Amino acid sequence: MSATGIGGRVSQFGSAVAEGWTRERFGLIGAVALVLITFGPPFQVYLFTDFLVVALFALGFNLLYGYTGLLSFGHGLFYAGGAYGIAIVLRDLGPIIADIVGAGISPLVTFVVGGVVGLVLVVVVAVPVGWLSVRLEEIYFALITLAFGMLGYSLIIQDPAGLTNGTDGVIVLLGTVDLGGTSIRIGGRRLYYVISAVTVVAATYGVWRVVNSPFGTVCKAIRESPDRAGALGINVRHHRWMTFIISAAIVGIAGVLRAGLASVASPGLTHWSTSAIAVIATVIGGATYFYGPIVGAFIFLYIRWAISRFPTLEAYWELFFGVLLIAVVLFFKQGAVGGLYLLRDRLFGEGDIGGANGGGGGAFDAGSQVTTPPDEEAKSSNGDVRTDRGDNS
Amino acid sequence: MTTVLKAEDLRKQFGELTAVDNVSIEIDDGNITSIIGPNGAGKTTFYNLLTGVLQPTTGSIWLRSGVEDDLADVTDAEPHQVAQAGLSRSYQITNIFEGLTVRENVRVARISHEGTRLDFRSRATGDESVEADVEELLDLTGLTHIADTPCDTLSHGEKRTVEIALALAIEPNVFLMDEPTAGMNPTEVAEIVSLIRELDADLDTTFVVTEHNMDVVTDISDRIVVLAEGAILADGTPEDVLTDERVTEAYLGSDSA
């Protein structure tokens, strides 16, 4: 940002786009695609917004799973937290905010306040839930988070405080901004898509920065070996707790967007079957890649949509996912993104394995692969893999 | 000479079994101490007590903190606190961040040492002082040529070296090495021995080594402590200890003594 200036950065970006299949070119194509989708058929705009929200949900989840090695089965709790936060603000504080800022602009202000409240609510819940959960590891961690998620489900349905409206949930009415003549409906599909796309892209960039920061580097180390990280002076439990909170906050943002998209905050959001969507999307896409959850969410939603076009099959759509999931787990341990890298290596030769290996040379900076795909195992860069890995245990 | 690590009446009981039996030991800086003993003598349990992985049944552990001579009590400290207090270790079974590259491994240790673990705004690769230290360490341990190789594709000997680089990256006062030559071929053993000698000469770190390979032990040690059935059997210079009849007996059994 210092010496080059904006003009320099633009021309730098331009040459990076022209150079080949660089990250910049993918970024530019993605940005153009995001803009073009705004003008698509309304249902497709809706479906794509749905995909973006689920992608952010899975991406937040994967910060804890793929990057830190903790499988949460209760992230629906934070998805619901964001959704209920904004829903309750819209329902209860809407009139108050309208009194303060005036009726014209009040839906927009209420929406923003609701989003912030939803996010704060999620963090407030994640701090104690995370503190307790990170005391456990592996399957026990999965079980306690599952329990917290279902505890949230029960509380929302029982509704002891009279806030959540039980099984019916809270209706979300985003309202219409009236600027003296022009009125804009926030909940309109195209506008809501734009709001969601901007939020999701910004949040994704935030997560990307986190995983590439010293904090994220330590997360990966903890995933690889918590004992080793501890023996190097890293407070593993504390680090997992912080990751839990950040992960929950990202999921909370997705929850806020979900409420507006579905026009309701419903108890099902914190049911384990919703938490499982993040798990399934991540596993299908590839937990060890930054973009894995996004690709997985895309596959999940578009296959579901494709199946729904055949009414006879629709009743069994979960069956298709069962089969798909089994296929991925058995044959593509690295998920769809891992499969794509494998395909690329097959098609374009072996010279480019650096990208898939997370060395930072590829178009997507995967950066976080747990295990090397089998056909790469033999190609150690020093060509000196010994087989006698004796273990004196 | 200053005492850098002290254990007093250290005892660890697993049910009926006494794994470590009233061990008192003072480790001085400036020499390499080897802890030897037959399998099951309690060496690894002793290490796990010192590093906070296990809590002793009775006894206390003291560690020189920073540059002062006074010792700090780390008996009840957790592993990461012990490491922060200046005690580093390697494991008998190599324990490194397999999915990361060699450079990333060392970077993690430097991030921990610099205290920038919670920095999620800057780039991991952006801190030039950290990167310079990482390069220096890679150079010191001879890993520069494989710096960007993922660790899961390295040879056994290279992985063991990465672990040494990791342990040293936090600039410890004391480095406990648990069988550094385990599973290595003769060439690798020779390399690791010369590396340990070099590092001992170059750094302020005090090395404590457990080892089964007696050639290595006699080669590098200034002092040998023999553990048998959890207790100290002999303690002294290599010449004294290795000619001690009780030591031969413990290793070969009383019949052949």
ipTM of the assembly? 0.89
Q: Which of B80, B117, B118 sits opposite A230 (nearest CB)?
A: B80
Nearest CA in chain A to B157: A389
* pLDDT per residue of chain A (393 residues) written in tens, 0 to 9: 445 577 777 787 777 777 777 778 888 888 888 888 888 888 889 999 999 999 999 999 999 999 999 999 999 999 999 999 999 998 888 888 888 887 788 888 889 999 999 999 999 999 999 999 999 988 999 999 999 999 999 999 998 888 888 888 888 888 888 777 788 888 788 889 999 999 999 999 999 999 999 999 999 999 999 999 999 999 999 999 999 999 999 999 999 999 999 989 999 999 999 999 999 899 989 888 999 999 999 998 998 888 888 887 777 877 877 888 888 888 887 888 888 888 888 887 654 444 433 333 333 333 444 433 333 333 333 333 333 333 333
pLDDT recorded at residue B228: 84
Q: Which residues of B touch A357 (CB under 8 A)?
A: 150
List residues bridging with B234 in a β-sheet. B226
- Answer with the residue of higher pLDDT: B153 or B246: B153
Tell me the CATH number at B195: 3.40.50.300
Tell me, yes or no, whether B78 lies in a domain.
yes
pLDDT recorded at residue A197: 93
Bridging pattern class, strands B174-178 and A264-265: unpaired
For residue B205, pLDDT beyond 60: yes
d(C-alpha A327, C-alpha A344), whole Å: 20
- Whether residue A335 contacts residue A285, with contact meaning beta carbons closer than 8 Å, is answered with yes
Q: Which residues of A touch B107 (CB under 8 A)?
A: 217
Q: Which strands sit side by side in the sheet containing B174-178, from one edge to the other?
A: B87-89, B174-178, B206-210, B33-36, B223-228, B231-236
Give the three-state DSSP class for B227.
strand
Residue B43 to chain A, least CA–CA distance (Å)? 13
Mean pLDDT of B186-191: 88
d(C-alpha A209, C-alpha A99), whole Å: 39
Residue B254 burial class via C-beta count within 10 angstroms: exposed 0-12, middle 13-18, buried 19 and up: exposed
Residue A125 to chain B, least CA–CA distance (Å)? 21
pLDDT recorded at residue A28: 86
Nearest CA in chain A to B154: A385
pLDDT recorded at residue A133: 95
Tell me, yes or no, whether A264 lies in a domain.
yes
d(C-alpha A231, C-alpha A141), whole Å: 22
Q: How many domains does chain A have?
A: 1
pLDDT recorded at residue A178: 79
pLDDT recorded at residue A227: 93
Tell me, yes or no, whether A151 lies in a domain.
yes
CB contact under 8 A, B95 and A227: yes
Mean pLDDT of chain B: 86
Residue B88 to chain A, least CA–CA distance (Å)? 7
Bridging pattern class, strands B206-210 and B17-28: unpaired
pLDDT recorded at residue B68: 64
- Whether residue B204 contacts residue B234, with contact meaning beta carbons closer than 8 Å, is answered with no
d(C-alpha B83, C-alpha A155), whole Å: 43
A333 CB near a chain B CB, below 8 Å? no
- Answer with the residue of higher pLDDT: B21 or A21: B21
A347 CB near a chain B CB, below 8 Å? no
Tokens 């806020």 locate to A256
Mean pLDDT of B56-81: 84
Tell me, yes or no, whether B150 lies in a domain.
no
- Whether residue B228 contacts residue B41, with contact meaning beta carbons closer than 8 Å, is answered with yes
Mark A287-315 as b/e (b = at least 16 C-beta within 10 Å).
Answer: bbbbbbbbbbbbbbbeebeebeeeeeeee
Range of the domain at A141: 53-304
Q: What are phi and psi of A325, to 5 degrees?
A: -65, -40
Residue B147 to chain A, least CA–CA distance (Å)? 11
Percent pLDDT > 70 in chain B is 96
pLDDT recorded at residue A390: 37
CB contact under 8 A, B183 and A218: no
Q: How many domains does chain B have?
A: 1
CB contact under 8 A, A242 and B113: no
B192 CB near a chain A CB, below 8 Å? no
Tell me, yes or no, whether B210 lies in a domain.
yes
Separate counts of helices (H) and strands (E) for chain B: 9, 10
Range of the domain at B86: 3-95+172-256
Helices A5-19, A23-37: inter-axial angle, 10-degree rounding: 100
- Answer with the residue of higher pLDDT: B208 or A327: B208
pLDDT recorded at residue A68: 94
Tell me, yes or no, whether B101 lies in a domain.
no
Tell me, yes or no, whether A323 lies in a domain.
no
